[in-house]
Each structure stands twice: as C-alpha cells, then as structure tokens.
Amino acid sequence: MTIQGPNYTQIPNVILDNLQGLKGAEVKVIMAICRNTFGYHRTTNRFSLSYLQKITGLSRQGVVNSTKKLVEIDWLNRHSASLKGGQGWEYEINLEVSG
C-alpha cells in the first residue's frame, strides 16, 4: 500500500495517549469510529453492527464487546437511532476521555 498525502484523519491526542489497557479489537473499533466521524468532519455518525464488522474485520460479538467496553470507559456515547432497514446505534466520541 502506498500512503499518499495529505489525505488523513486527525485522531485526538487524548485518544492516542490513552490506548494502554485496550485490547486490539477495541483499538480497531475506536480508530474505525474516529475515521468515520472525524474523517468526515463530524463528531457523531450512525453505525450498524454489520458496518463496524465490515470496516474492522471483527466478528459481530467482537464489535459488540468492544463498543460495550468503550462505552463503559466513557470513550463513546451510544444512542439508539433509526437506520435504513431497522434500528441501530449512533456513536459519539467523548472527548472528555480521562487517563
């Protein structure tokens, strides 16, 4: 893969500085959510579990466990949302991450 610039997504330092203690699946999910929020100049976006599975390569249970953990540690806020074809979740990065 060739990396071309300046096509980047900014990740807040507070997230990068506090990755210790996270499992690989949780890092994949937070990075994917950052890409699909901050990468489009948003702070929230709506995600189905199947979409998060697709972009992270994780199993459905891996996505469920990872998002649950990220909500528990207050890195994500989760809201119920209507999605095309059914219900899903809207995730919002919580920039008040404490170390």
Q: What is the CATH number of domain 13-93?
A: 1.10.10.10
70: buried, middle or exposed (CB in 10 Å: 19+, 13-18, 0-12)? buried
pLDDT at 35: 92
**Residue 97 banded pLDDT, cuts 50, 70, 90:** low
Predicted TM-score (pTM) above 0.85: no
| pLDDT of 64 higher than 70 | yes
**Residue 67 banded pLDDT, cuts 50, 70, 90:** very high
Q: Where are the domains of the chain?
A: 13-93
Q: How many CB atoms lie within 10 A of CB 77?
A: 14
DSSP 30-81: HHHHHHTTGGGT-SEEEE-HHHHHHHH---HHHHHHHHHHHHHTTSEEEEEE
For the chain, the average pLDDT equals: 86
> Which has more confidence, 78 or 22?
22
